[in-house]
Amino acid sequence: MEEFDSTEEAPQTFFQDVTGDGFPELAYFQKYKYWYCPENEQGYKVFLTTSAGTGFVSITHNFCNPIDKTLDLAVHLPDKNEDGIVDWVADQVHQYAGDSILTSERVGLAIGFTPSEINLLLPEESTNGGKIDVIDELYEIDDVPSIRQKLMSERNDLSAADPFAERERQRLTYLIAVSYEIQGQSDKAIEEFTSILQSENQTLWGNLAALHLTSK
């Protein structure tokens, strides 16, 4: 996840469907003294996770806000053409992905994610080997309890010395929560999703967990 400046005030969170596509925009934002702004304006850094039509993306953005006006992050997430995608997100996606078509429709709140949608959010180093296989198995086979037990065992075996252990713990916890959700055990699913959001260091798995909780 994007790092924030520990010398500034703590990052704030934002969770609201600004574009009207049915998927809330989830953001962490903080004052950012290294971003140049005109006199009487304050610089900010925002880390936004949002739907870009073809999937979810997480993008960092900087902006200025007048110091005499209370910050309303929604104002800085414009969707002037009403295509369901934040304008500057579309601009950045086009910049890095060329003329890929971005489309989005106004739908109901998200209630889950397919394996391919989850895989789009995985860091490159996590998209090799057996990790994807576990996600596919979770959605495609009937023996969900055995997959859940495997995920729990992996979580219990994580080493605190591993710098990626916390991110991996959140990934495994998310999948465990989904396994309960698939079997209709909502209380246990909510407990696992909530534990991710209570983590000190948030990752994209926390963003996904928040979307599941919003649909409850």
Name the residue ranges covered by the structural domains of the chain: 12-97, 115-214
Give the pLDDT band (50/70/90) at residue 97. low
| HEC-encoded secondary structure of 159-189 | CCCCCCHHHHHHHHHHHHHHHHHHCCCHHHH
Could you tell me which residue, 122 or 139, shows the higher pLDDT?
A: 139
| Rounded Cα–Cα distance for residues 123 and 197 (Å) | 19
pLDDT of residue 207: 78
Could you tell me which residue, 119 or 13, shows the higher pLDDT?
A: 13
pLDDT of residue 200: 75
- Mean pLDDT to the nearest integer, 115-124: 52
pLDDT at 128 over 50: no
Local structure of 46: helix, strand or coil: strand
pLDDT of residue 214: 65
Could you tell me which residue, 187 or 52, shows the higher pLDDT?
A: 187
- Mean pLDDT to the nearest integer, 75-83: 93
DSSP H helices, 74-164, are 87-97, 115-120, 130-140, 144-156
pLDDT of residue 63: 95
**Which candidate, 89, 104, 103, 112, places its Cα nearest to that of 22?**
104
Given phi > 0 = left and psi -120 to 50 = alpha, else beta, which region is 72? beta
| Rounded Cα–Cα distance for residues 175 and 177 (Å) | 5
User: Does residue 114 contact residue 95 with C-beta atoms inside 8 Å?
Assistant: no
Mean pLDDT over the full length of the chain: 79
